[in-house]
Structure 1
Amino acid sequence: MHERKQQVQAALLAHDRIDDWDGELVIAGREVAEDRPDDWVLEGWYPNKPGKAQKTALAALFQGKAPKITIEELPTEDWVTLSQQGTPPIRAGRFHVHTPDHPADPDTIDFVIPASQAFGTGQHRTTSGCLEMLGAMKARGVLARNVADIGTGTGLLGFAALALWPRAKVTLTDIDPVCVPVVEDNAALNGVPLGPKPGEAVMVVAEGMDDPLITVRGPYDLLIANILAGPLVELAPDFGKAVMPGGSLLLAGLLAGEQEAAVRRAMRLAGFRLGARLQRGDWAILWLRRRRMR
């Protein structure tokens, strides 16, 4: 569905407010082309042929006249992996992230992340923005001894935190079990030790913060969550409990504007204040600090 940027972003915001959305109907918005930044398309994926209910749900996200919906049957392929193959390396602050078909850069903190079914290869502006912000936090004297990466995907952001703070304990979590072998393979590929001790990373499959191990390993002095605006708002009270006073919260996956305002409002109520902010394209990356107890 081709529309103007503001209309697609408004549709994404409308989607965030729907509690009973069909979880099998996955949507995303993107630019049509780099030289047409104001022309966007809203795409949806459904495991079966979409029917009237799915088309009605998509159309209802738009105010006024709904755009034309085009349906296309896709071959049985891993489209996430295919879309990431052949992607160029990215440089984000101190970090260099590339697929195995590109050489390493010895003058950086280098990670090789193959195309995979999990989100977080570094190509998306939210992921690269988080890498930039982690480097800025380190440069400003942040000390992280206990780190959690919520919604880790490939494990990249947790690995990056461990590279910056080599003696930290790192907890990697994701709701999708497919991330477990992806994280294990990427850890082996990049020499990241897995285990419960300082200098190692542990992987947990959990919805949000809902796992006893996440609670037991807290509180955290650095918590990273590059997910979506809606879940960030919902998880704000849990983050407030999980991050120690004076600790840092790094958030991404939210559009600048209304989504960012909603997330910042929820985090403020949970006891966080803004430390720094980056904007990469339409995406905001937020570094928040938990208020110290008086």
Structure 2
Amino acid sequence: MSWVVSLPCTRDEAEALSGEIPALDALSEAPVVVTREIDEDAGLWQLDAYVDDRPSAALLKLLPALVPSAAGKTPAVEKLPEEDWVTLSQQGLEPVHAGRFFVHTSSYADRVPQGSTSFLVDASQAFGTGGHDTTAGCLAMLDRLARAGAAPRNIADIGTGTGLLAFAAMALWPRARTIASDIDPASIAVTRNNAAVNDIALGRGGGRLTLAVAPGTDHPAIRHRAPYDLVIANILAGPLITLSPDIAAATAPGGHAILAGLITRQMDDVLAAYRAHGFRLAARGGSGEWPCLLLVKRRRFGYRRKERALHRANPADASFGSW
């Protein structure tokens, strides 16, 4: 028998819960947490925590602390019928349709639009639903970049989450060398499983995806393969700013960076950090509240000293991954 514990929350709280939650992971039975928007017009969101057994007192005490807006509210506890709790948790996960891409869970496997490039990504502990708008923005930006004639040969997806954006890039540029990294080993395990489900070849060389557990760009394989024609980072504003010198060092002059995970009021700070390291804004996409930024690293002419990645990322900052 499975159980679900529910609490109302805000969108900002849902965003914060999309990453790794050490306090929940420390529980004897870590729940699978899904956040979803239940009323778009009213801006109402909800946290659902799924567990196999009756929720512990520790879980019931911890969850309200994660959503301060629900202070004073008692969590709703419901015993679920004998059904697959993963399927239940996916019912709130609508497909993402952006550009040529259609990303769906098993619940929508029979509704894939004809002619689309589709990926099956089921619910897992590596992500929450708070990143859907940012995911759609990144997919649309990748599609836009390809339609504009870009042809990157060396691609890095930093903070890959479930591997989706790396998969999309490989579908667009199948001969490119692609590496996907995440600070969370569980995310890389999920990416490996998703690669098998979606017939993505793993390994080294063109047309294969290399995986790495790493905080930001701090990994020998990432450093060895730099510089990159395209860097994708769908994380959060804080880690994006912290990683700006490293992403700049890893990006080839004239190369592109796709940044997402930030909200509108954070955009100026993120842009300022990247402009300071030689990038310019080429395009803005995404939704009104969740922008997706396409940056180009300016070319430098004449003598300049070799750039090296600084790897200033705080491992605690870089845990957010894409859907």
Q: TM-score range by the shorter chain?
A: 0.7 to 0.9
SS in 1 for 2:243: helix
**Pair 1:31–1:112, CA change in 2 (3 A):** closer
* Cα contact 2:38–2:46 (8 A) shared by 1: no
Amino acid at match of 2:211: M
RMSD between superposed Cα atoms in Å: 3.8
* Cα contact 2:35–2:129 (8 A) shared by 1: no
Residue pairs, 1:250-289, within 5 angstroms? 250-257=258-265, 259-289=266-296
| Cα displacement (A) at 1:31 | 5.0
1:188 to 188, 196, 201: 196
Provide the residue aligned with 2:147 in structure 1: 139
1:97 to 72, 90, 103: 103
Confirm whether residue 244 of structure 1 aligns to residue 252 of structure 2. yes
* Cα contact 1:25–1:44 (8 A) shared by 2: no
Q: Which runs of 5+ in 2 are unaligned?
A: 1-6, 26-32, 50-55, 302-323
Give distance in 1, aligned partners of 2:34 and 2:122: 22
- How many residues of Structure 1 are paired with residues of Structure 2 in the alignment? 276
Give distance in 1, aligned partners of 2:171 and 2:234: 18
2:232 to 224, 249, 254: 224
Provide the residue aligned with 1:164 in structure 2: 172
1:100-152 CA deviation, whole Å, 9 max, x = no partner?
Answer: 33223340112122222222889711001100000001111211100000111
**Pair 1:25–1:188, CA change in 2 (3 A):** closer
Provide the residue aligned with 2:23 in structure 1: 24
**Pair 1:130–1:251, CA change in 2 (3 A):** same
1:51-99 CA deviation, whole Å, 9 max, x = no partner?
Answer: 79x95x976xx9xxx9656566799xx9988533463433111111122
Provide the residue aligned with 2:124 in structure 1: 116
Give distance in 2, aligned partners of 1:120 and 1:135: 23
2:213 to 189, 194, 205: 205
Give distance in 1, aligned partners of 2:87 and 2:214: 23
Stretch deviating more after TM superposition (24-33 or 126-135): 24-33
1:213-241 CA deviation, whole Å, 9 max, x = no partner?
Answer: 11011110100000111100100010110
Identity across aligned pairs (percent)? 45
| Cα displacement (A) at 1:190 | 1.4
Stretch deviating more after TM superposition (132-141 or 24-33): 24-33
**Pair 1:117–1:67, CA change in 2 (3 A):** closer
**Pair 1:81–1:244, CA change in 2 (3 A):** farther
* Cα contact 1:29–1:40 (8 A) shared by 2: no
Identify the structure with bigger relative contact order (alpha carbons < 8 Å, sequence gap 6+). Answer: 2
**Pair 1:44–1:215, CA change in 2 (3 A):** farther
* Cα contact 2:177–2:207 (8 A) shared by 1: yes
* Cα contact 1:151–1:174 (8 A) shared by 2: yes
SS in 2 for 1:24: helix
Residue pairs, 1:50-89, within 5 angstroms? 68=72, 83-85=89-91, 87-89=93-95
| Cα displacement (A) at 1:201 | 0.4
1:148 to 142, 156, 171: 156
* Cα contact 2:35–2:130 (8 A) shared by 1: no
Give distance in 1, aligned partners of 2:130 and 2:72: 33
1:292 to 299, 304, 308: 299
**Pair 1:163–1:23, CA change in 2 (3 A):** same
| Cα displacement (A) at 1:33 | 1.2
1:169-209 CA deviation, whole Å, 9 max, x = no partner?
Answer: 11010111112332122112211111111111011011111
